[in-house]
């Protein structure tokens, strides 16, 4: 509830790996259903995407687990993505011979010229290392550094190695290392993995890279129960107090790094990593918030851009308030699609009438929970706030709709455990009661990147009607959720502005027409700003497009990654 952007991919457990500004991950169907051209085949010089012959697929990776995304995927993420200790030594990576030394300030050269010491970790031929970067890029060389967790799986071959492919699942706050080890390094198409070293780095403040912490697990339980639709002065004061306690906890527990987790700093870390890997250019696939990170990198270092895929894009020109309102409308669109499907089914918990009736029934259920939470079979009752997040959690991917129908049916009968489980997936709360770092890193990045959406409760009250117009179901709750940055202990360092990346190689921006977390107009906006971008459209539901079962989308992206040739302008897939 404290996050500014709701776009992050919640990948892994019940949403296949993707992220969220309240986050990003989702449930996916068979991933990456088409295979790719060999990099030596440049294909049709007109730029049209040829129809590629399919090879036998990799065994599809089942990412639909009962545990929450990111932390427990494939049994690995609870072990946290990066077992930096107890690993055997390996030969160091070559230094970045391709680095343009004259473009690097002298104070940064030690970082750019560092050698990564790789160690076996995580099983399945993964290697791990630690990258050193300056805590403050305006004052490098002072000894105040951050240590960033990196993992890779080398290209499997045969054929020519194309370099490193850096992946980021979004968030902000999603563990890229966890995503790599649980999905990308084994779930990406065979021929992509054959020609690229698959690489991930947890951004500063995230997961294994000096993770931000703010509250104890019990305090976080209380925070997520806070009434997020205050009806009067007392409830408003309690919500504000919860936001202040959260912010104060971040300052007291993570003060050293809290002012240095901006997207710009994370992008600069990526360039240090590129150099340490020995790559002349950066190849990258970013989803959700990862698109903003990738576009920021491209704008900072346009001539170091290789092949960039930005899937589920953010528009960097938007204010925090506009981002929140657009996402609110996006979740309403997703709910409408869910309701249309539900009311056609026997036993739909929202009735078998119209979408409007379904919307009213859900609203009435939320209103009852506001005063009368229902039991869950455990010590934590299902409140209105948790139920709202549980429904939103299932909006990231239509394959979660059956689970949501069952959870709503049970909750409306007085058994709220299923909907609580969906909320826990959203908040990345494990079955042992512990929380992942995403819900702390997420506001830390968001509140640093942009000025707050609202500065006072009075501003929120004035905007609630606009949010409720965008979404009668979620509007009020998501308006109040956007107040969190008003009490953040660190002043924002960024402002909304276009990203141009003039001189960059071709970039592919991907947008999904009914994406709830990163609405399609955002992809159009980013593609229009980036000087070399091509917009690839997926006409469908859910958050992000790559690997969700569209052969058209996967074929276009895979061909681009292997040949450098982007899809034809105005390509639209189903």
- 449-483: per-residue pLDDT in tens? 999 999 999 999 999 999 999 999 999 999 999 99
- Binned at pLDDT 50, 70 and 90, residue 122 comes out as confident
CA distances from 59 to 36, 188, 242, 555 (A): 16, 11, 46, 18
Assigned domain for 342 exists: no
Assigned domain for 166 exists: yes
Mean pLDDT of 282-310: 99
Assigned domain for 433 exists: no
Dihedral pair phi/psi, residue 197, rounded to 5°:
-70, 125
Mean pLDDT of 226-240: 98
**Cα 204–chain centre separation:** 15
Overall number of domains in the chain: 1
In this predicted structure, the answer to whether residue 307 has a pLDDT above a threshold of 80 is yes
> Which residue did the predictor score with more confidence, 402 or 11?
402
Q: Which residues of 428-483 form beta strands (DSSP E)?
A: none
- Binned at pLDDT 50, 70 and 90, residue 324 comes out as very high
pLDDT for position 141: 83
In this predicted structure, the answer to whether residue 34 has a pLDDT above a threshold of 50 is no
515 is catalytic: yes
- Rounded Cα gap, residues 25 and 394, in angstroms: 11
Residue 182's nearest CA partner among 165, 197, 169 is 169
Tell me whether strands 127-134 and 119-120 are parallel, antiparallel or unpaired: antiparallel
Dihedral pair phi/psi, residue 131, rounded to 5°:
-100, 135
Least confident window among 67-81, 164-178, 225-239, 361-375: 67-81
Least confident window among 14-23, 270-279, 395-404, 559-568: 14-23
Residues of the chain above pLDDT 70, percent? 82
288 is catalytic: yes
Mean pLDDT of 319-346: 97
pLDDT for position 265: 99
Assigned domain for 117 exists: yes
pLDDT for position 32: 60
Mean pLDDT of 163-178: 97
What value does the mean pLDDT of the chain take? Answer: 86
Start-to-end CA distance of the chain, whole Å, equals 33
Mean pLDDT of 206-224: 98
Q: Who's near 295: CB < 8 A, 6+ residues apart?
A: 310, 313, 314, 316, 499, 501, 526, 530
Mean pLDDT of 243-263: 98
In this predicted structure, the answer to whether residue 485 has a pLDDT above a threshold of 70 is yes
> Which residue did the predictor score with more confidence, 152 or 65?
152
Assigned domain for 147 exists: yes
What residues form DSSP beta bridges with 511? 537
Assigned domain for 131 exists: yes
Assigned domain for 451 exists: no
Assigned domain for 387 exists: no
Which candidate in 288, 385, 393, 410 is catalytic? 288
Least confident window among 76-85, 97-106, 176-185, 545-554: 76-85
Look up the domain containing 127 and give its range: 73-212+260-318+497-573
497 is catalytic: no
pLDDT for position 60: 27
Which candidate in 35, 197, 543, 554 is catalytic? 543
In this predicted structure, the answer to whether residue 84 has a pLDDT above a threshold of 70 is no
pLDDT for position 143: 84
- Binned at pLDDT 50, 70 and 90, residue 75 comes out as very low
Q: Residue 167: which CATH number?
A: 3.40.50.1820
Mean pLDDT of 490-510: 99
**Cα 352–chain centre separation:** 34
Which candidate in 515, 541, 550, 554 is catalytic? 515
- Binned at pLDDT 50, 70 and 90, residue 102 comes out as low
């Amino acid at each position: 509830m404290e996050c500014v952007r709701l776009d992050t991919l919640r990948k892994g457990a019940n949403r296949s790996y993707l992220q969220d500004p309240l986050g990003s991950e989702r449930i996916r169907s068979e991933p990456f259903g088409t295979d790719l051209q060999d990099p030596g085949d440049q294909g049709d010089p007109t730029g049209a995407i040829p129809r590629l012959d399919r090879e036998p697929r990799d065994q599809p990776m089942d990412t639909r687990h009962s545990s929450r995304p990111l932390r427990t995927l494939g049994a690995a993420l609870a072990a946290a993505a990066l077992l930096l200790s107890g690993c055997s030594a390996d030969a160091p990576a070559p230094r970045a011979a391709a680095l343009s030394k004259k473009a690097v300030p002298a104070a940064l050269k030690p970082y750019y010229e560092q050698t990564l010491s790789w160690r076996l970790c995580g099983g399945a031929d993964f290697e791990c290392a630690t990258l050193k970067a300056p805590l403050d890029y305006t004052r490098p060389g002072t000894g105040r550094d951050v240590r960033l967790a990196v993992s890779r799986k080398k290209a499997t071959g045969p054929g020519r190695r194309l370099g490193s492919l850096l992946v980021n699942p979004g968030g902000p706050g999603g563990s890229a290392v966890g995503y790599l080890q649980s999905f990308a390094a084994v779930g990406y198409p065979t021929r992509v993995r054959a020609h690229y070293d698959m690489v991930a780095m947890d951004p500063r403040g995230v997961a294994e890279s000096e993770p931000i912490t703010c509250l104890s697990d019990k305090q976080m339980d209380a925070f997520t129960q806070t009434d997020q639709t205050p009806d009067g002065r007392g409830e408003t004061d309690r919500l504000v107090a919860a936001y202040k306690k959260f912010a104060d906890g971040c300052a007291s527990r993570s003060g050293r790094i809290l002012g240095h987790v901006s997207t710009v700093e994370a992008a600069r870390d990526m360039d240090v990593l590129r150099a340490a890997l020995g790559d002349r250019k950066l190849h990258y696939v970013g989803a959700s918030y990862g698109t903003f990170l990738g576009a920021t990198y491209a704008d900072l270092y346009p001539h170091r851009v290789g092949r960039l895929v930005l899937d589920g894009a953010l528009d960097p020109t938007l204010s925090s308030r506009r981002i929140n309102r657009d996402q609110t409308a996006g979740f309403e669109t997703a709910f409408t699609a869910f309701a249309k499907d539900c009311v056609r089914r026997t036993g739909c918990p929202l009735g078998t009438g119209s979408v409007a009736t379904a919307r009213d029934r859900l609203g009435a259920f939320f209103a009852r929970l506001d005063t009368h939470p229902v039991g869950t079979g455990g010590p934590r009752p299902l409140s209105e706030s948790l139920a709202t997040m549980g429904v939103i959690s299932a909006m990231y991917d239509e394959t979660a709709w059956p689970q949501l129908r069952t959870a709503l049916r049970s909750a409306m009968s007085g058994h709220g455990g299923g909907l609580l489980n969906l909320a826990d997936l959203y908040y990345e709360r494990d079955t042992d009661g512990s929380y992942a770092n995403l819900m702390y890193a997420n506001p830390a990045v968001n509140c640093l990147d942009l000025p707050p959406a609202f500065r006072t409760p009075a501003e929120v009250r004035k905007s609630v009607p606009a949010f409720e117009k965008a979404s009668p179901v979620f509007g009020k709750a998501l308006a109040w959720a956007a107040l969190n940055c008003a009490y953040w202990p660190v002043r924002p360092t960024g402002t909304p502005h276009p990203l141009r990346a003039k001189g960059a190689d071709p970039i592919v921006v991907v947008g999904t027409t009914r994406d709830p977390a990163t609405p399609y107009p955002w992809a159009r906006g980013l593609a229009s700003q980036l000087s070399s971008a091509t917009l690839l459209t997926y006409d469908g539901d859910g958050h992000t497009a790559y690997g969700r079962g569209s052969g058209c989308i996967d074929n276009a992206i895979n061909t681009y990654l292997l040949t450098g040739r982007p899809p034809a302008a105005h390509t639209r897939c189903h």
